[in-house]
Amino acid sequence: MYEKKIPKDFSCGMAILMEIIGGKWKSYLIYLIANNVRRPAELQRAIPSASRRVLDLQLRELEFHGIIKRVIYPEMPPKVEYFMTPFGESMLPVVASMETWGAEYMETFRQLMENKQKTMHTDGECVEIKKDKPVIRGRRTLAKAV
């Protein structure tokens, strides 16, 4: 594993949760494994936009953190399956609530971002913005304004 240089401080709950599910695909992996998608190749097919390598790495980390368990069947061709540990299962409600919130506010979020886009790329007239943003944003402008 990559050797970290900046020590981490796990004195608060969020830090721990983030350490565990912070990776780009980890929450997907947890979700999938909890829903019986167990084998590496299946997981890769389920998340095609992720490279095989990262999924591997993140699965290792989830295993390292005690969230999932890797079971190897000594067969040929190789067979591996992942299972949630009890510790991992304990976090499913949290993951679910995160997913639920995100899904519920997906539209809100998208529309918000769309509006930003508009006001950011329109070089012609971003009137409302020009009205207050400079005053709000710039230090210099504020100074002048006062």
Partner DNA sequence: GAGAATACGGAAAAAATTATCCGTATCCGA
Partner DNA sequence: TCGGATACGGATAATTTTTTCCGTATTCTC
Q: Contact, 40 vs 86, CB < 8 A?
A: no
Contact indicator for 62, 20 with CB cutoff of 8 Å = yes
Residue 14 interacting with its own copies (CB under 8 A): yes
Give dist(CA 90, CA 84) in Å, integer.
Answer: 9
Which of 37, 50, 91, 129 touches DNA by CB under 7 A? 50
Q: Determine, following the binding rule CB under 7 A, whether residue 53 of this chain makes contact with DNA.
A: yes
What is the distance between the alpha carbons of residues 112 and 120, in angstroms, rounded to a whole number? Answer: 12
* Residue 46 within binding range of DNA, rule CB under 7 A: no
Which of 32, 39, 65, 83 is in the footprint of its own copies by CB under 8 A? 65
What x-and-dash track marks residues 113-132 binding its own copies by CB under 8 A?
A: x--x----------------
Residue 32 sits in the site that holds DNA (CB under 7 A) = no
Tell me how far the alpha carbon of residue 1 is from its chain's centroid.
20
Q: Which residue in the block uniquely carries the two structure tokens 């009137």?
A: 127
**What does residue 74 show for φ and ψ, rounded to 5 degrees?**
-75, 75
Binding site for its own copies (CB under 8 A): 9-10, 12-18, 20, 22, 27-28, 31, 49, 64-66, 70, 72, 74-76, 78, 87, 90-91, 93-95, 97-106, 108-110, 112-113, 116, 135-136, 139, 142, 145-146
